Amino acid sequence: MLKFDYDERHRYDDIIDLPRPVSKTHSPMPSADRAAQFAPFAALTGHGEAVKETARLTGKRIELDESCKAVLDDRLKKIREALDSRPAAVITYFVPDSQKKGGVYEEAAGRVVGIDGYLRQILFEDGRRISMDEIIGIESQDIVFSPEIS
């Protein structure tokens, strides 16, 4: 146990009850600004976002064989023939990732209103456009498709 002498314990007794000093030339700092000076310092700005981006998973693109491509071509042909009735379809397609290699597969469901052969896109009623080169599956309750080739 440490022992302090009397003078050490009562060294500030003469100022302990004095009012807090207030500057006559400077206005007091707002509380929010005072708190900001104690905020943690981010030495590596953007590092957290870079780590999250690296950890984000992307999938590989599936390469279709010729028989699968033939089935898709047949289904696209039948959708083109049925465009007057605006057939409902569910299309599974690949969306390449803009930041890194790979991407994700998504499904688009809705009524098909057109097929742009020049841009090779399927046009949906809601304005979505899907590249025919990214499609891996087409389903429709409005169209009877031929059985798939195994």
CA dihedral 115, 119, 125, 128 (to 10 degrees): 140
Do 40 and 71 lie in one domain? The reply is no
Q: pTM value?
A: 0.62
| Structural domain harbouring 113 | 66-139
Sheet holding 129-131, edge to edge: 129-131, 121-124, 103-116, 88-96, 135-139
Please report, for the domain that includes residue 89, its CATH number.
2.30.30
In a domain, 150, yes or no: no
What tokens does 42 get? 């981010």
- Comparing CA positions, the residue from 107, 108, 105, 91 lying closest to residue 61 is 105
Question: Does 87 lie in the same domain as 30?
Answer: no
Per-residue pLDDT of the chain (150 residues; tens, 9 = 90+): 556 566 677 788 888 888 888 888 988 888 878 777 777 766 667 777 777 777 777 788 889 999 999 999 999 999 999 999 999 999 999 998 888 888 889 999 999 999 998 999 999 999 999 999 999 999 988 888 876 654
